[in-house]
Amino acid sequence: MEYLRIKLTFMNDKKPYLLDISSLFYDFELLHDFCLIAYVDEYKYYKFNNYFWYRKGRPIKKEHRIKALRIEKESPLTVEIIVDAIVGLSGAFWALVQAIERISNWKLNREKLEQEVEKLKKERNIKFYEEQQAKVEFERKLLEREAWNTFNSLLRRLEANSLKLKDIEISSYSENDYGKKNE
């Protein structure tokens, strides 16, 4: 099975609060789920309400959920996640990248991120037009689904966390790769 691997590196104290770590993980999953629900037609009848914030409040299919590949609680905190390549390379993925870029205190090397995204597009033969269309479509869907308040609340929650995103790496990932690394 093919996946998209996302490695997130966060700046943190040597002994961050467990609450900050768990909140960061939960809020990032909420952000992923939000983009998926807002963008993917399978979830178009979902209404954003207070249940969105609950652990089981979102109807995300098992195959669309984020999987943890590796978590290193060192300084810096590093999290590697994988998402199904079909979902990962859809408009929902581009919406997630857009959301990350909007978090004001997450300073990323945008040039590096753009190069990684470009490499993935070439690997998967994704057209530039589709990426641009996805960006416009995401904003349209947020308006259409009346989800701007939820989106802005998510961004504020991530901005308020003491753990700040320092770097993001995106690459292809195959279950075969995992087997080779662990032999």
What local confidence, expressed as pLDDT, does residue 100 receive?
Answer: 82
Tokens of residue 159, six digits:
């901005």
pLDDT, averaged in runs of 10, over the chain (183 residues): 86 86 94 89 90 93 92 89 76 79 69 67 58 73 87 93 89 70 44
* Domains held by the chain: number: 1
Q: Which residues, 6+ apart, have CB-to-CB distance to 105 below 8 Å? A: 159, 164
What local confidence, expressed as pLDDT, does residue 120 receive?
Answer: 67
What local confidence, expressed as pLDDT, does residue 179 receive?
Answer: 52
What local confidence, expressed as pLDDT, does residue 88 receive?
Answer: 65
User: Looking up tokens 């998402």, which residue turns up?
Assistant: 83
What local confidence, expressed as pLDDT, does residue 183 receive?
Answer: 40
Long-range CB contacts (within 8 A, 24+) of 108-112: 108/165, 108/166, 108/167, 108/168, 109/167, 112/167
Domain boundaries, position 50:
2-181
Q: Which residues, 6+ apart, have CB-to-CB distance to 14 below 8 Å? A: 75
Helix (H) or strand (E) holding 87: helix 85-88
Distances (CA, A) of 126 to 34, 65, 90, 94, 158: 23, 22, 10, 12, 30
Tokens of residue 107, six digits:
């300073």
Taking the CA atoms of 135, 139, 103 and 56 in sequence, report the sign of the dihedral they define.
Answer: negative
